[in-house]
Amino acid sequence: MNSVGIGILGLGTVGRGVYRVLQKNRELIAARLGTPLEVVKILVRDTGKERGITLLPELLTTDPAAVLEDPGVSIVVEVMGGIEPARRYVLEALSHGKSVVTANKDLMAVCGQELFAGAAATGADLFFEASVAGGIPVVKILKEALAGNRILEVIGIINGTTNYILSKMSDEGADFDTVLREAQERGYAEADPASDIEGLDAARKIAILASIAFNTRVMLDDVYVEGITKIRPEDIKYARELGYVIKLLGIARETPGGIEVRVHPALVRCGHPLAAVSDVFNAVFTRGDAVGETMFYGRGAGELPTASAVVGDIIAAARNIRCNARRILGCTCFERKPVRPITAIESCYYLRLRVIDRPGVLAGIAGAFGNNSVSLAAVIQKTTGVVAELVLVTHRVREANLRAAVEELRCLPTVETVANIIRVEE
């Protein structure tokens, strides 16, 4: 049996996991595939670095050409991260007719179209399962298993670091910085955790999922993004009293006015399946016109869960090479659909205000909402004193109206601050 040669670009958290899984399950994978997979070369920056795995030193190289131009490498696995030089290396591998497997959502969300064109030019495969939701095979599910459905919405908890932080803050009252440090130590967080906590990591992932679900190219810039840095322990507490948990959601929805694609914290009703997804776990909830609701759950980050998705793609690429069936599942963006601006969406909203505590204040606040056709579902005074904390929940309203009401509130002398506004996903 001829083996299929694998070249790996990067041997950090994910690269190490891929190498480990390929070694540990070598015989099983060979039996399933009908041929062994052989790691031929691994590109790193520093060949002398201690990596916590046993491997032949001659496998390591700092020369990209040793992977990209080696005729013995049929599949290039990009697990370096970032845009450059990953983009150049992937394009070069594809130009040599090598299939590419990547875990890189930055690259797929920004350069996906260019990479698919590169793959189409030589008939090579480009797989990217691990770029969204780590070990959950949601890309394959949307592209293959649910391909008979018109997908109506995809809602995901797709960033493990922020879910870990919000869960620990909620369950243990832990403080933000300590939990973030823990997430970094466990290898969940990105090298620059700002990308996690500001919502950009999730934005890249929902752009990829929306592109697949709605067959239209959704770029990173199309995604409205808010992170979790403004969430305070009191928001978590008040949300819980109202029967909700706070989650960072990636939401992609097809509406008659276009596609909605957004990432922001949201209040999720305690009974919803997404509310029970805690710790570093991810979940992707979908609604299809035939299947109805489905939810896929698992570890969205970390060495072995991510490696599971990468190795699944390597096996698919190797099978296609063996069966001469490459490029059966290429780019699926064959339509062009408009993306709705955030001001056009409709939602319910939670607001936390700090206001002067005296008679008549509430009437002024209610007036600002009424003037902008925003109907209130609940108003609760949480603290008293010279300044009181008010929590309000609106009925469903267009975001433009809510924003206009908030502008009016900010001008009221009785409103000290609009401390937080969080959308409620019913």
- The residues carrying an active-site annotation are 205
In angstroms, the CA 92 to CA 81 distance is: 16
| Nearest CB to ligand NAP, comparing residues 130 and 404 | 130
In angstroms, the CA 63 to CA 76 distance is: 14
In angstroms, the CA 89 to CA 64 distance is: 8
The option from ligand NAP, ligand HSE, none interacting with 81 (CB < 5 to 8 A, set by class) reads: ligand NAP
Distant-in-sequence, close-in-space partners of 289: CB < 8 Å, separation ≥ 6: 149, 150, 151, 152
Give the pair of three-digit tokens for residue 14. Answer: 């994910």
- 106 to 135: interface string for ligand NAP, x by CB under 6 A: ------------------------x---x-
Binds ligand NAP (CB under 6 A): choice among 43, 252, 391, 409: 43
Binds ligand NAP (CB under 6 A): choice among 7, 81, 137, 298: 81
| Nearest CB to ligand HSE, comparing residues 140 and 352 | 140
End-to-end CA distance of the chain, in Å? Answer: 55
**What letter would DSSP give residue 270?**
T
395 in contact with ligand NAP (CB under 6 A): no
Restricting to residues 273-312, name those near ligand NAP by CB under 6 A. 301-302, 306
Least Å distance, CB 13 to ligand HSE, is 9
Binds ligand NAP (CB under 6 A): choice among 90, 91, 103, 268: 103
Element (H, E) at 42: strand 37-43
In angstroms, the CA 392 to CA 143 distance is: 41
Restricting to residues 166-225, name those near ligand NAP by CB under 6 A. 187-188, 191
Are 327 and 316 a contacting pair, CB within 8 Å?
no
| Nearest CB to ligand HSE, comparing residues 44 and 108 | 108
The option from ligand HSE, ligand NAP, none interacting with 83 (CB < 5 to 8 A, set by class) reads: none
Phi, psi of 352 (to 5 degrees): -115, 120
The conformational region for residue 210 under phi > 0 = left, psi -120 to 50 = alpha, else beta, is alpha
| Site residues for ligand HSE per CB under 6 A | 159-161, 188-190, 196, 201, 300-301
| Nearest CB to ligand NAP, comparing residues 280 and 316 | 280
Closest residue to ligand NAP in the complex (CB): 12
In angstroms, the CA 160 to CA 390 distance is: 31
- 351 to 390: interface string for ligand NAP, x by CB under 6 A: ----------------------------------------
| Helix runs in 98-199, H state only | 105-122, 138-140, 160-172, 176-185, 194-197
Least Å distance, CB 131 to ligand HSE, is 8
Distant-in-sequence, close-in-space partners of 396: CB < 8 Å, separation ≥ 6: 346, 347, 348, 426
Are 167 and 236 a contacting pair, CB within 8 Å?
no
Distance of CA 313 to the CA centre of its chain: 19
Least Å distance, CB 175 to ligand NAP, is 23
Binds ligand NAP (CB under 6 A): choice among 49, 150, 181, 230: 49
Number of residues that bind ligand NAP (CB under 6 A): 26
Exposed/middle/buried for residue 4 (C-beta within 10 Å: 0-12, 13-18, 19+):
buried
314 in contact with ligand NAP (CB under 6 A): no
The option from ligand NAP, ligand HSE, none interacting with 171 (CB < 5 to 8 A, set by class) reads: none
Least Å distance, CB 88 to ligand NAP, is 10
| Nearest CB to ligand NAP, comparing residues 99 and 102 | 102
| Nearest CB to ligand HSE, comparing residues 297 and 362 | 297
Give the pair of three-digit tokens for residue 345. Answer: 């969406």
In angstroms, the CA 234 to CA 142 distance is: 37
Restricting to residues 239-278, name those near ligand NAP by CB under 6 A. none
79 in contact with ligand NAP (CB under 6 A): yes
74 in contact with ligand NAP (CB under 6 A): no
Least Å distance, CB 199 to ligand NAP, is 15
> Is 308 strand, coil or helix?
helix
60 in contact with ligand NAP (CB under 6 A): no
In angstroms, the CA 125 to CA 326 distance is: 6
Binds ligand NAP (CB under 6 A): choice among 24, 45, 88, 396: 45
Are 165 and 197 a contacting pair, CB within 8 Å?
yes
Applying CB under 6 A, which residues contact ligand NAP? 10-15, 43-46, 49, 79-81, 85, 103-105, 130, 134, 187-188, 191, 301-302, 306
